[in-house]
Amino acid sequence: MNKSQQKAVEKLKATKVGALFMEPGSGKTRVAIELINETDSDFALFVCPFSTKDNLRAEINKWGLDIDYKIIGIETISMSDSKYLDLLDELKQKSKVFIIMDESVKIKNITSIRTNRMIRLAKLSEYRLILNGTPIPRNYLDLWSQFEFLDRRILKMNYNEYINTFCERTILNIKKEGVRIKKEWISDYVNLEYLYKKIEPFIFDSKLEIEKSKKYLKIGVILENVDEYHEIKDRLLYNFIDENSFMRITQLMRQSISLDKAKIEALNEILKKENNSIIFCAYRKTKEFLQNNYPQCKVMIYNSGSLGLNLQQYNSMIFFDKTFDYIQREQAEYRIYRIGQKQDCRYYDIDCNIGLDKLIQKNIDKKIKLNQYFKELIAKGGAISEDL
């Protein structure tokens, strides 16, 4: 193990629950295995995205686990009632279960079936560990369910109490066609030092430490055909819509310019010097086009290609389409920038001259600052007196 992994084991072996917020590629699975081997548990349950199961099993076989274990996809837990009930019965037969939730942001939604089932499974375990590269992919609300899974005595508050303690809300009354509509959203976060004082003893956070560098290059393009984009935009502005409608319509806006001629020309220029690259896009139609026209490259879609793959044989990545999801972007970058990379890495962003691209970049930058602040507060330390 490297020094960072050793520090993680030393800190978290003293508790029965913990959070490994270590950047992708830094060896979280190795740390998890070492922590399991430090305990008297008799069975380990690994829960992870289905697409990462094979990679996880290879890591376990590589580093060695002293007890019986099972790997199950988080999608199976949410979609199959029978397999979930069978898993409940199986855990009831064990005396000291260790549950490892990999990519724990998959249980950030408090109303989802998967989150509630994982919290119920947690009650049948002696030890629990969550693994994730980014603790706050969206906002501070993402933390509540992850720590509820670990142990509700860490935060000691329900979801509404959590919101009332750490969030400021803005209320706006809008009148549309004679009907008043009340909109409420979280506008700021407060008492964050108190939050970190509560969770810091159970967290290990670290950055990936490798000798190679990362370089970011932005390629600006002026789109040639934006008529459809602006038609969809006008439809968005004309109608008062909720968050789900906003995401659906902006998806259509982005898709309308995905294969614009100017973007393809920019890609051709990049590939003159980066012939063997990974290209990330957002749509299946775009992926099919890129695969057919650039067979020398590996073309991937964010939601299915940004998790669980080790692709250190590449050292350049092109973001052909942008994504609102900070987690998808970060996970994509770490497919090549990870332990074992022997070359410096380069990342190309194709920036279009439209407001939506600027909005997406602003959203990503905001999430980066949010996580940086989170890490700075954790680094300050500050243990609490209550023990679990």
Q: pLDDT at position 180, please?
A: 72
CB within 8 A of 252, min separation 6: which ones? 232
SS3 145: helix
Q: Which residues of the chain have pLDDT under 50?
A: 382-388
Return d(Cα 170, Cα 186) in angstroms, integer. Answer: 6
Give just the sign of the alpha carbon dihedral 309, 10, 104, 72.
Answer: positive
SS3 content of the chain, % helix, strand, coil (to 5): 45, 20, 30
Kind and range of the H or E run holding 12: helix 3-12
Return d(Cα 111, Cα 10) in angstroms, integer. Answer: 35
Q: For 144-170, what is each residue's pLDDT tens digit?
A: 999 999 999 999 999 999 999 998 877
Q: pLDDT at position 96, please?
A: 95
Return d(Cα 119, Cα 131) in angstroms, integer. Answer: 15
Q: pLDDT at position 197, please?
A: 87
Burial bucket for residue 152 (CB in 10 Å: 0-12, 13-18, 19+): middle
| Chain center to CA of 40 | 31
Q: For the chain, which residues make up each domain, given as ranges?
A: 3-168+194-209+371-380, 214-368
Q: Residue 295 gets which letter from DSSP?
A: T
As separate numbers, helices (DSSP H) first and strands (DSSP E) second, the chain gives 17, 13
Q: Residue holding tokens 């700075």?
A: 376
Q: For 207-232, what is each residue's pLDDT tens digit?
A: 666 667 888 888 889 998 888 887 87
Q: pLDDT at position 382, please?
A: 42
**Average pLDDT for the chain:** 85
Identify whether the C-beta of residue 100 lies closer than 8 Å to the C-beta of residue 121.
no
Q: pLDDT at position 135, please?
A: 64
CATH architecture of 214-368: 3-Layer(aba) Sandwich (3.40)
Q: Residue 49 gets which letter from DSSP?
A: -
Do the domains 3-168+194-209+371-380 and 214-368 sit in the same CATH topology, yes or no? yes
SS3 238: helix
Does CATH number 3.40.50.10810 belong to domain 3-168+194-209+371-380?
yes
